[in-house]
Amino acid sequence: MSRRSRRQRGKLLEAKREKKEKEIKAQLQQEMERRRQANLKPKPHKIGKRKTALLFAAAHSKHDRHQPDVGVSVTTRVRTIHLSSSPHPSWREMEKIQLHPVNPLDLHAEEDEGVPASLTGMAVDYLTRMALTGEDAAKTFNIACLGFQNSRYMCEDQYFETFYQLLNEVDELHKSGSADWIRLAAYPALALVTCDSLYRAGTGNPFHLKDGTVVPWISDRTCLPVTSHNIDEMVHRGIKLFENYEPLVAAKITFQGGYTGIIASGDGDYLTENTLWDFKVSIKEPNNRQLLQLLVYWQMGLKSIHPEYQKVKFLALFNPLTNTIYRLSTDQVSPECVRWLQNDVIGYGNGMPQF
């Protein structure tokens, strides 16, 4: 298939996805209103896959999610690569740029308040994207929506109403225009992202931590004073990054035309005019797998239908917790590494179809 044909096909799929999101969001609101008026309990045996798929704006068709019968996500593929003998550059070759934070953060706040670092990172990512793009909550938290709507908890009133109310709360806070909306939205956001694992790993329990305890911040909106402040500050650091460093071109970037039978899904964080960005919230320095993830995104972008990736000159990790940028020039990537990425990691040289 020619690049032009792939580009046209990608535009059609994107238009189809956006239309479906609007239709499904309307279905979700109608279903919630019906339950309120009729006070009916859902009957699991009558709610089939077709109906539940219509209840969330983030639900896409199998092809739209780039999920064929084989293939894994970028992050899963990166975890399986043996790095000891591979020709990739080291993260230590990345240029470190320390931005000057206005307000220093408590690096151990989440640990002290019982919030897993992974949840904090996802909440920062989603709220930053929401602030930058103006997306609604159903689109921003689409992974959580997909995980929830594919789980058995979809048919339980308690979980359904809680999930819907949390999405609405984030939307209302965002639309309020309050200077404090991000800090307040940190609480429902941290609850929503507990549903991400239902989609990414196929396991978990909504609004519960890995040890089985219910997250306390659903009902108590004062229990995370330092964590909510940290999230607010980190989101503002992300916003300032693109205001002062480079203007944003796209968020939640995808690679239509660059997926293969080996890597069938995956999306990056942000794209500016000449830099591909990934946000990593951590008290630690970067590692080689995080850099490899960026390298894979870059090569998939070059093979995709999107011409914007041809302008990429830098690959950058941004840690909003420490307000630090780690940047690698694409000129530092050897031809041997490019061949290894294309043939061995992604699978372009193996005669696999691209989609």
How does pLDDT run across 118-176, given as a tens digit for each residue?
A: 899 999 999 999 999 999 999 999 888 888 887 777 767 778 888 889 999 999 999 99
Per the CB < 8 A criterion, the answer to whether 253 and 124 are in contact is no
Helix residue ranges, H only, 39-141: 49-53, 74-80, 109-113, 117-133, 137-140
Sequence-separated (6 or more) residues with CB below 8 Å from residue 91: 285, 286, 287, 288, 290, 291, 326
Q: What is the pTM of this model?
A: 0.77
Per DSSP, which regions of 168-255 are E strands? 248-251
pLDDT at position 29: 64
The pairs formed by 106-111 with CB atoms below 8 angstroms and a separation of 24 or more are 106/226, 106/230, 107/283, 107/321, 107/322, 108/283, 109/226, 109/227, 109/229, 109/230, 110/227, 110/230
Q: Indicate the residue type of 168.
A: N
pLDDT at position 65: 37
Sequence-separated (6 or more) residues with CB below 8 Å from residue 33: none
pLDDT at position 103: 62
Ranges of the chain whose pLDDT falls below 70: 1-14, 16-17, 20-70, 102-104, 106-111, 155, 201-203, 350-353
The CA distance from 229 to 106, in Å, is 10
Name the CA dihedral angle for 249, 252, 253, 257, rounded to a multiple of 10 degrees: -150
The CA distance from 282 to 104, in Å, is 15
